[in-house]
Structure 1
Amino acid sequence: MGYLEPLPFFARPKGAARQMARVQLQAQLKWPGAGIRLQSALKVSKETSVFRGYRGEDPVVVKKFWDLSARRGFVGGTVQAFRRFERLGAHPDFSVNRCFASSGHLGLVVVSFEAGTPVDKLLKQTAANRPQILRQCCAWQSWAGQGEIIRSALPSNLIEAEIRTILGASARHPDAALLAELGNELLRLLPLLDGQPAARAPGHPDFAPRNLILRPDGGVTAVDIHRSGTFFQSRQAAIFLVSKDFQSECAEGSLLFGLDQSEMLQFLAQSSVPEDEINTVLVFFIGLTLLRMYSTKPRRGRPMKMRRRRIRAYLNDLRRGVGIRA
């Protein structure tokens, strides 16, 4: 019998076109009868690239995890998360996109493309019913968070390392001094939260408006499900609120910790954030999310000025001891 040598792993190609060609070939060899045809690149990065195409007649999104050491974990976590949502059963108003195929060896996941309008784009429309959209998003999160709620201490060492990593990578940021000021305030605040249990529950690992789709029938579907487990509810709320406001070039109402006060209170009235975390853990995670998002998305002009204003408003409210709820 002849000896079959294992196929070599090639380095990640440069450029969207070459990456898409590589992933197209791998998908055809792995699933020859699936009829997967890639048409365009939605995202290209060193860690993950995302492509849109078809699986037969079904529109799909194909994710490619490039890191050899982590791809099996990423794919496995994605598949486990989808299985967990399958166990919740069908719901007329809430869903997640479907997983058609996966390969941990190749770092590939094939999921359904969901028709509808992403919530982040919907919120930019002047005629959008923003209170209704917030209610629907909170209702989706409530459905997705079914299961046991665990209360555990914050992983202070990991969070401190996260903050210091962000600051270390932000030395050349146009607002490096402001980011350092925010990061140092968070490092000062973190020890004060030691010993306070925070709620964790199942849900979406990145509960942001861009990952929620308002379907044509009025329901809500979530996309980019890539990890299973439980997540701090206060951190998920902070991700949603900061992501919602961070793209705006102006603020029409009052700011509270750098965010739209009216919509924050509307959201919290319907969210699952525990009351005893709102003025402590949630406030901290709002600051951490502002730090993370501003450090990775520097922009010129009005958006950057507005983001700078939000961070300064956050720092001002934090130092004055302002409460979100009386």
Structure 2
Amino acid sequence: MPETNPRRLVVHLGEQRPLYSIPDWALDEICAEMPEGWEVVVVDEPGDGRGDGGADSTEALEAVRGAEIYLGFGVPAPLFEAATAPPEGRLRWAHSASAGVGASLHAAMRESDVVLTNAAGIYAEPMADTVLAMILHFARGLDVAVRAQAERRWNKEPFEGADPVGRELAEQTVGVVGLGGIGQAVARRTVALGMTTLATRRSGTEGPEGVDVLSGEGALDRLLPRADYLVLCVPQTEETRGLVGARELAMLPDGAVVINVARGGVMDEEALVDALRGGRLRGAGLDVFAREPLPDSSPLWHLPNVLVTPHVSGASPRFWRRQADLIVENLRRYLRGETLRNTVDKRAGY
């Protein structure tokens, strides 16, 4: 006789943005992993993977009742409660296709025994490419060149004057704050280009070859005075909120560049604006902001030494190849009763 209550996998990975909406081939690969006795329910209503994700829908709320596995962009509280409410609630594993999990770590999730995984590392390679582009933008004076081009000015003086804007990467030091997947991808690139590369990490001292890893109390303070380029790659948690403010910016060398691809809350934006206006910093490359979209009134739009990208550093056509590979591997591990990759530490917040 057929099983009356099959085990259920819910897939809620459609997205409003075409790049992030699950393609048919990825859905086929996921479905092919499910053995007999499992039901796969695909939610047609699109989710929202921006930021930490977290959009739910009426269709998703119905589908998760009695589901054992949920794949979506974030796990908002109403959806989680529907998936765990007795008597049918039996959620055991939830995967967020977003890297950040702040919106999914509500009290109900933190207090539960549901395993939460995320997409940490999926975005690392394109994000590291963006960081490298931002470094080169300022190192070779492309910001100056773009402004001159817009005004049709042939002006060599900034490049050939007494204090030229151009620098060679091999004579510069980059400080990577946070040596997770993104930080490691950045560090591999900067080491390959001959840059002295320092990094901080929460625990441990191992990193990619050629990286001087600083850890323990005072690690950030030891890194800052040496960083010509400060690259923020840490997840936003209670511990990292406001990590870099006026004090930390004042510790950077004259002419330093700040690059933030982490989360807007890691940086004190007002302090950064003051430092940029004061002339000590060479510039800032920013992909994330305290408020998104960045308000029209923000001075960051107009400062000549700021490069703004609209939280797109991780965008890549390869997103779904990496995401599907992770999900499929974890499905196999789950079915074998093994530890899942990218399991979120609910206490640490990432």
**What is the TM-score with the length of structure 1 in the denominator?**
0.28
Which structure: greater helix fraction? 1
